[in-house]
Chain A
Amino acid sequence: MNLEKLLYDAYGYTEFRPGQKQVIEQVLAGRDVLALLPTGMGKSLCYQLPGKVLPGAIVIVSPLLSLMQDQVAQLKKMGEKSVIAINSFMKPEDREKAWNTLGTYKFIFVAPEMLVQPYVLGKLNALGISLLVADEAHCISQWGFDFRPDYLRIAEVLPKLGNPQTLALTATATDKVTDEIKHYLKLSDPFIYSHPMDRENISYDIRKFENDHEKLEALMNLVAEYGGPGIIYAGTRRKSQELAERLLTLGIRAAFYHGGMEQQDRIFVQQQFANKELEWVCATNAFGMGVHIPDIRHVIHFQLPSSIEGYVQEVGRAGRDSLPSLATLLYAAGDERLVESLIMDDLPERHEIELIYERGEEAKHLIEQGMMRETAYRIISYWRERLPLQGTLNQIERLKIEKQRQAASVRGLVHSSGCIRQYISMSFDQKNPSIPPNCCSFHGIDHSLFKGNRRELKASQHGSWKERLKVLLPI
């Protein structure tokens, strides 16, 4: 089969991006595949194109509602009409309709918690699945930075679906996580494609300061001297708001973005950024998904990331166009304390674990009363079905140790004196990368490359409503 021709006929592209072709070939050959592709490398094409050839449905299990919606939107944007997403937030009548017309869809996105319901399984089984895709497969790892207990259930339902051919996709995985994915998804003799984590066009800069005041001043200088478009990751919602306000008073076009905003406003900020109406977005880590902008030139971390995996993902939003881009991490003495307390706050505490063991399902009400966190509830109720109390306590203890390891590796990123690129690759068990020009602050960066290219932004449209209407509908 001529894959290039297929690609062109289906989507109008003339060539594959690195890794895509190898993965698709193996999928079409009928093999289980585990593909490690950095974000922005076109992971979804790895099942989209096989969908054009394989006879049955492609079922994609996706861990996050927002991610699912974004992928459906992207597929539709590429002209794919036969797409549907089924999740627990749908209105019952819409879901009913979806089930009844399921056979007419090629690409079916399902949330993992739905997949385990017998009714859903029955429907999917009747359909004939050609390929099961586990998106963001690293979520299956209990040690990973975003473990979803529901993901482990995929393994439990695979036999009930007749063990379909499986494609596991992820952007970040250490050897340990890769092994877990293989184990839990029961991938038999899989083809593993591992793209180097390293992005050569990104220069890593780390700057250290004595205190917060100096750090903030440094940020203000950075945005004054360096051009966008860029993202400033701020750590907390409040901080993202504060930073955006500061930038605005300097006359720099900026906006904040965080999960506490209503969805319409979040879409507006994304679009303004994509339209180049904004130079900087000050955001929490909620910003990223749904942002498909190839020419982000600068990602600044104003707070330490909570894991190397998260850091690589956030930094990886820069320079998708392969042009030189800068990643700057600003550190003030003591920053790691904040991060470590945030990380540990995420873990279920002993009293929460005991409460759930005592009360079971009823403990759910405690979430509403603010006595329990939803993430804690989810993780614990998963283990409750499988382990006695002591087992779960041990499990959480091990999780804690793992989190501490993650925190230590972020600390190492800031404090180890050496090549940052090498440090990152090492964290992912990848072999030493070659050192490109402008590699990192250890090897030296020619900052003139990034300075002073502040582009003229479009003039803002603050006229009367009639003038704006004319801009919207110029006729």
Chain B
Amino acid sequence: MRFDEVVLAIMRAVDGQRTVSSPYHLIKGKKSGQTIQDIGYFGLHPYFAVLPKLDKQEYLASIDRLQTQGYLIPDDNSVKLHRSAFDLEIPSTPLNGWKYRSNENRFFARLSLVVQTMSNFMQGQKRFDPVVTDETVQMWAKAYLNRIDFRSPAVQEAFKNQLESSLALAKTTEAHKDILMERLSGYGVGGLTWDQLAMEHKLLPIDVKIAVVEAVHAWLDVLEEMKHPMLAGLLEGIVQTSALTESAKRTQNLAERGFSLKQIAELRQLKTSTIEDHFVEMAMNDPAFSFAPFMDEHLFESIKHISKELKSMRLRDIKERLPEASYFQIRLALAMRGGVT
């Protein structure tokens, strides 16, 4: 998937209902209530936080290309796609941003350092400049390497074989795997920069960045399944057990202890609107979430019904028809599973 296709895929879902900058926030992984609830409304889980360091200029360049190609119609208020944008065939993607939350970067940093260290030691080089400067990663890698006894040739061989067999199984193209491997360094072999990769593969730098994220996500899916003791160690803390953001998790704990929304806001010294965002997040992720404390059955059904009738997720449209509902109630109802049918 090229970067422009990622943007288009998101735009096709939110067409007419969100601003042109909303895909940008989603791809960067902004943790605002709006962005997070949109993931549930529009089924945008694959694309959340896939490029946390995305530069605004790079995004605008993509918008520019999409407009030049005629897929996107310039509009100040919201995404407005041309019909041709819907005819376009967009390849399926192994991206799973909502699950990995940019943690793939930590995984890849660990892997880079572990492979570099093993590569150097295997070839008799015990002193080298680490390719990852982050001290937390360095300390983690050191502990990991010692734990698996990385100096042993048998371990080295097993490690390499497991890397090879698991990556072979990853559901992504060979070209993506080539690019991913070129980001790793070893003894006498430096990783390639985004620009070098772009030139070699005749892609844009932003496209090779997405390619690596796709390949790593596909690979992580395999590694989680395989449960190789050695490689599984690299996943420590990478896959979140809870789908909630850290802050929402804290709100959830308090809610479970019986505190009301207002009380939680006071206790945590946060704005009520922030706590509302957390409840929306919980509604999205927890199939057992109950709306009962916030609205009655009748209002809940009305919101759902109107959203279906209008074929709209726009809060304002629904509010116009249902003035008695608060924005929070509408967001909550829409966020619950089966929000759109």
The interface of chain A, by Cβ under 8 A from chain B, is 69, 73, 77, 94, 248, 255-256, 261-265, 267-272, 274-275, 277, 290, 292, 458, 461-462, 464-466, 468-469, 471-475
Contact = CB atoms under 8 A, between A and B. Distances in A.
Contacts of B178: 464-465, 468
Contacts of A458: 188
A475 B189 contact: no
A352 to B, nearest CB: 26
Given A77-B129, A268-B185, A464-B174, A475 B160 contact: yes
A475 B190 contact: no
Given A77-B129, A262-B53, A473 B160 contact: yes
B180 interface: yes
Contacts of B195: 256, 265
Given A255-B193, A473-B118, A465 B167 contact: yes
Contact of B194 (A265, A271, A292): A265
15 contacts: A94-B136, A248-B199, A256-B195, A263-B133, A269-B190, A270-B190, A292-B129, A462-B200, A465-B178, A465-B180, A469-B164, A473-B160, A475-B122, A475-B157, A475-B160
Contacts of A461: 189
Nearest to B160: A473
A94 B136 CA distance: 10
B91 interface: no
A446 B127 CA distance: 38
B118 A269 contact: no
Interface residues of B, number: 43
Interface in B193-219: 193-196, 199-200
Contact of B189 (A264, A265, A472): A472
Nearest to A473: B160
Contacts of B184: 468, 472
A472 B119 contact: yes
Given A77-B127, A267-B131, A271-B185, A473 B119 contact: yes
Given A255-B196, A265-B193, 7 more contacts: A262-B194, A263-B133, A268-B131, A271-B131, A465-B174, A469-B160, A475-B160
Contacts of A268: 131, 185, 190-193
B29 interface: no
A107 B199 CA distance: 43
Interface string B168-191: 000000100110111011111111
A149 to B, nearest CB: 27
A275 B191 CA distance: 11
A454 to B, nearest CB: 19
B123 interface: yes
Interface string B125-151: 001111111001000000000000000
Q: Which of B53, B194, B196 has the most CB of A within 10 A?
A: B196
Contact of A261 (B156, B188, B193, B199): B193
B133 A69 contact: yes
A73 B130 CA distance: 8
A471 B189 contact: yes
B57 to A, nearest CB: 11
A472 B129 contact: no
Contact of A275 (B153, B164, B189, B200): B189
Contacts of B133: 69, 73, 263, 267
Contacts of B306: none
Contacts of B7: none
A475 B163 CA distance: 13
The 4 A-B pairs with the shortest beta carbon distances in the complex, nearest first, are: A272-B190, A271-B190, A472-B186, A465-B181
Contacts of A469: 160, 163-164, 181
A274 to B, nearest CB: 7
A466 B188 contact: no
B318 interface: no
B6 interface: no
B115 interface: yes
B205 to A, nearest CB: 10
Q: Which of B127, B129, B136, B187 has the most CB of A within 10 A?
A: B129
B126 to A, nearest CB: 10
A453 to B, nearest CB: 21
Contacts of B160: 469, 473, 475
B187 to A, nearest CB: 8
Nearest to B192: A268
Contacts of A277: 189-190
A473 B185 contact: no
Given A465-B167, A475-B160, A73 B129 contact: yes
A464 B192 CA distance: 14
A47 to B, nearest CB: 21
Contact of B129 (A248, A274, A462): A274
B129 to A, nearest CB: 7
A475 B187 CA distance: 13
A474 B184 CA distance: 14
Contact of B123 (A264, A274, A474): A474
A394 B174 CA distance: 65
Nearest to B185: A271
B191 A473 contact: no
Nearest to B180: A465
Contact of B188 (A275, A464, A475): A275
B109 to A, nearest CB: 9
A95 B191 CA distance: 31
Q: Which of A73, A77, A267, A461 has the most CB of B within 10 A?
A: A267
Contacts of B131: 264, 267-268, 271
Contacts of B123: 474
Contacts of B199: 248
Contact of B186 (A94, A256, A471): A471
Contacts of B163: 469, 473
Contact of A473 (B53, B127, B130, B156): B156
B167 A473 contact: no
A469 to B, nearest CB: 6
Contacts of A73: 129-130, 133
A369 B216 CA distance: 37
A109 B8 CA distance: 48
Contacts of B119: 472-473
A473 B136 CA distance: 24
Contacts of A473: 115, 118-119, 122, 156, 159-160, 163, 186
Contacts of B122: 473-475
Nearest to B108: A264
A465 B193 contact: no
B104 to A, nearest CB: 14
Contacts of A255: 193, 196
A469 B186 CA distance: 10
A265 B131 CA distance: 10
Contacts of B164: 466, 469
Nearest to A261: B193
A77 B190 CA distance: 18
A63 B35 CA distance: 40
B278 to A, nearest CB: 23
B188 to A, nearest CB: 5
A475 B153 contact: yes
Contacts of A265: 193-195
Contact of A468 (B128, B181, B188): B181
A461 B164 CA distance: 18
A272 B195 CA distance: 14
